[in-house]
Amino acid sequence: MPYLRCFLMEVLRCYPAFPAMMRKPNRAVVISDLTIPAGKQIMVSPWAINRSTDLWGPDADEFRVSRWEDDYNGGAKHAQAFMTFSSGSRICIGKDFAVLSLKVALAVLVKRFVFEEAVKGWHPTIQKGTSLKPMDLRVKLRVVEAEE
């Protein structure tokens, strides 16, 4: 189960369901030398933040499950670098339920099926829009033989 958590967190880091979200500060905010005025709508990109080399290191664009093994924050330089569910007062209230549901679903699937690459080294194209969708996913499933 610890590996399942690490795998799931890396999937959610690399492929957040919603690659962008809109926010509007209720008071002026200063970030480095940039001032965002109160009421100015801005777009926050979990896709970009979750892959930022400044926050995640030089391998930020790599899918590396082991980054979560020894660090609950995945080795990120900031505790709020994982933006898949947003953060702070606007964090998704269903985050824990979503993660738990995904863990249960994956555990059931892994128990019942063996997953194999249909085409060695194939990586699906990711369609970006309101949500991320893998296109042309090529995976073979084989039913795990029941133990007698």
Residue 51's pLDDT is 95
Instruction: Count other C-beta atoms under 10 Å from residue 24's C-beta.
Output: 10
Residue 134's pLDDT is 81
Determine the distance from the C-alpha atom of residue 115 to the mean position of all C-alpha atoms in its chain, rounded to a whole number.
21
Question: CA-CA distance, 48 to 89, in Å (whole number)?
Answer: 20
Give the CA dihedral 73, 75, 79, 82, nearest 10 degrees: -70
Q: Is the pTM of this model over 0.85?
A: no
Residue 147's pLDDT is 64
Answer left, alpha or beta for residue 56, where phi above 0 means left and psi between -120 and 50 means alpha. Answer: alpha
Residue 79's pLDDT is 86
Residue 139's pLDDT is 85
Residues of the chain with pLDDT under 70: 147-148
